[in-house]
Structures are given as C-alpha cells and as structure tokens.
C-alpha cells in the first residue's frame, strides 16, 4: 500500500453572539477545525484532527511541506510519521493530526479499532467529563457556573471541570470570593458529580496553595494547571501540600517535556492530547507516566474526530480514567462527522467500525468555510 495524497481540510463556524464566551481576557468568537486526510492507492483513506490551537492554515502549510516526503511511502510503516519536536506548536499539532490519520488508516486496513492496535483488552466505552465552566462572567451572573453544572447532571454526566472565570482584576475578585462560589457549586452538586478545577495557569503560588487546600477539603478530583507551567518546583510544592491530584501538561508534545515534572513529582496526572502531540506520543507518554505511578487523563478540546482519537487512546491505557469533552464548541464539533457517536450517561461508546470508528461528512469546507484570524480575541473592560 502506498500513500498517494495528503491534504488538510480547514473549517470554521462563527459563534452566535450569545454563544461567545469570555475566559480571562479572551473572547472566543468562532470554532475552528483542521483535519488531515491521507489517501492511498488502495482507496482506503485515513482522517485525523489537528488541534485548532496550532492554527489551521499554518498547519496546512506544515502538512504540505511533509506531503512530498511521504507520498509513495507505506502508511503501515510506523517509522514514516514525523514526530512532534517541541520547537513549534503549529508543527506539532499538524503532525499530531497526520499521526492520527495514519492510525485511522492502519485500523481500517487491519479491520480493528485503533484502541485494539494499542492494547489487547481495550475498553468498549470511555467515561467522559463535561468540560466547560468557562462562560460565567464575574460582572454579570457568576451563578451561571452552577446552573451549567446542574444541566450536565441532567444530561447524565458524572464529572464536571470548570475554570476561574473572567479576568479577576476587572471586578476585584479575590480568592475568598472565588472559593465562596466553589463552595456553592459543591453544595448544589451535592456529590452527584466529581468536580475538577482548571486554573489555566492564572494563580500565584500562594493563591494556588490556598485554593488547593479548599478543593482538597471539598473532595475535588483534581486541580489542573494552578500556576504558570514553567515553575516546576512550585508545582511540586503544591502537589506535596495536598492529597488532591495536581494535573497539567496539555501543551506538551514529547516525553522529554514531561520527564522533569515526573521526576520532581510535580504532576499526579498528566494530560497529553492526541490533537496536540498525536496518538503515538499520547501512548508513549502514558507508558512513561505509568512507570512513575502517574495517571493519564487526556486533554481534549475542539471537535469530534479528535475526541475519537483521544477516546481510542484512553480505551487502551493501562489505567483508564476519564476523557475531557468540550461542551461549548457548537455544531462544528459533531457535524464534521456523518454520525455522532453514542454518548449514554456520560459514557462515549466506541463505534464497532475500524480505525477511529467514524466517517467524515462530505463537503465540509463548503459548509464551514474557514474564517481567517484567531478564534479568540483579547478584550478589555
């Protein structure tokens, strides 16, 4: 079998004004998607989603750059896929989509789910957690955070991750005020869902230590990226101060980036993403993390094809836990697929079809033409 063509589909869908959301100082105005397509001389095609964080058009340039090097190669040869190298995020996200497309193709050729290529006993379904809590506005209705949690309980989700809201300095928000809202949320949820907080690296070390202590007391499942990523020593200090797991690493693309955090016990859970580092790297990072006794809960934002790639990884992990599901991506998330996979009571059922288990809808670039510019704009108040 030989690769005959590699291309990239780039799509956007603007968010309606009422569906735009502000987190920190960013207003998110559209949903983006990039899908790498690998065609072969046997008529079998593989599809893989690259995280839109890499910028669809720049990622297309990277794929076009690699394309002549790969055409004529055997897609079943595991050595052909370019690797993430941690020098350019766009490059790494681009090759992540290519890597997932090659796995989709290999699964289709073998007549197996990709999870079955990674593990002899993969799960048939993966527990999802509802990931959002980034629409509440400290100036308007912070209680929207709680209403949203109750919606996800009603939908059957058993875990919910939220963020710390709009820029705190706009409204004089303090750790005390924030933790007041967190306690209200925990009380409203009343043990019906696990709760996780994503700090998005916005806390100081002192703030993070206070927040971690309270989340620990409230029985949270993890505290993600409490402080700026580069401060490994402080991560280790925060992790040592509480039983609550500290998590991070969604931007990392190589084992080498994770290793110092694992060595220094800075993370209890690591969060690689198949759309950012590729399925191969997720499985490789998971293997190393497992040796350090560290769990893997992949980061997963954006659209449904990437969710299937991450779900196939989770299903094959030595110690599978949960997978993130973005709750606010809008119609693009699942309309890129012919059929949305089944989600029952917060569990994603891996389709019985081979590869990543889903088909890409036709005419995507006509239906969702790419809109130039970043999906998030910086706002001030």
207: which 2 tokens?
Answer: 């703030």
If you count them, how many residues does the chain have?
A: 381
- Of all residues in the shown chain, the one whose CB is closest to Mg ion is 198
* Binding characters for Mg ion, 182-211, by CB under 5 A (x = yes): ----------------x-------------
From CA 224, how far away is CA 234, in angstroms rounded? 14
Provide the token pair at 98. 């290519």
Q: Minimum distance between the CB of residue 324 and Mg ion, rounded to whole angstroms?
A: 8
Tokens of 191: 């043990």
Q: Is 324 in the site for Mg ion (CB under 5 A)?
A: no
List strand residue ranges (DSSP E) for 143-298, in order.
159-162, 194-198, 222-224, 246-248, 269-270, 295-296
Min. distance of Cβ 299 from Mg ion in angstroms?
Answer: 6
Strand pairing class (194-198; 222-224): parallel
The CA–CA distances, whole Å, from 356 to 109, 140, 301, 373 equal 12, 41, 17, 30
| Residue with smaller CB distance to Mg ion, 30 or 161 | 161
Q: Are 57 and 235 in contact (CB under 8 A)?
A: no
Here the tokens at position 185 are 């949320």
Residues near Mg ion (CB under 5 A) are 198
């Amino acid at each position: 079998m030989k690769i005959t063509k590699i291309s990239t589909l780039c799509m956007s869908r603007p968010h309606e004004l009422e569906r735009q959301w502000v987190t920190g100082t960013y207003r998110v105005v559209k949903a983006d998607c990039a899908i790498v397509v690998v065609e072969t001389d046997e008529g079998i095609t593989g599809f893989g989603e690259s995280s839109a964080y890499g910028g669809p058009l720049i990622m297309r340039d990277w794929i076009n750059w690699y394309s002549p090097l790969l055409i004529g190669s055997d897609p079943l040869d595991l050595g052909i896929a370019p690797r993430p190298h941690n020098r350019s995020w766009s490059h790494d996200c681009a090759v992540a989509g290519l890597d997932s497309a090659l796995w989709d193709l290999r699964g289709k050729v073998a007549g197996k789910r990709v999870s079955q290529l990674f593990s002899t006993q993969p799960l048939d379904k993966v527990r999802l957690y509802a990931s959002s809590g980034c629409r509440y506005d400290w100036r308007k209705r912070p209680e929207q955070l709680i209403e949203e949690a109750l919606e996800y309980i009603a939908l059957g989700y058993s875990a919910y991750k939220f963020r710390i809201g709009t820029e705190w300095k706009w409204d004089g928000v303090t750790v005390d005020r924030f933790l007041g809202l967190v306690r209200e949320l925990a009380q409203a949820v009343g043990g019906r869902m696990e709760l996780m907080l994503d700090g998005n690296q916005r806390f100081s070390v002192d703030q993070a230590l206070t927040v971690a202590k309270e989340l620990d007391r409230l029985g949270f499942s993890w505290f993600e990226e409490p402080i700026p990523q580069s401060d490994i020593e402080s991560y280790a200090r925060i992790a040592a101060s509480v039983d609550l797991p500290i998590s991070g690493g969604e931007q990392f693309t190589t084992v080498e980036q994770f290793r110092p955090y694992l060595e220094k016990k800075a993370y209890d859970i690591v969060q690689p993403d198949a759309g950012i580092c590729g399925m191969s790297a997720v499985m490789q990072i998971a293997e190393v993390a497992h040796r350090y006794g560290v769990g893997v809960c992949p980061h997963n934002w954006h659209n449904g094809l990437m969710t299937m790639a991450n779900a196939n990884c989770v299903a094959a992990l030595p110690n599978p836990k949960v997978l993130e599901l973005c709750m606010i991506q809008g119609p693009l998330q699942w309309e890129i697929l012919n059929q949305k996979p089944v989600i029952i009571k917060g569990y994603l059922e891996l389709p019985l079809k081979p590869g990543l288990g889903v088909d890409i809808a036709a005419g995507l670039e006509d239906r969702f033409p790419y809109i130039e510019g970043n999906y998030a704009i910086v706002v001030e108040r």
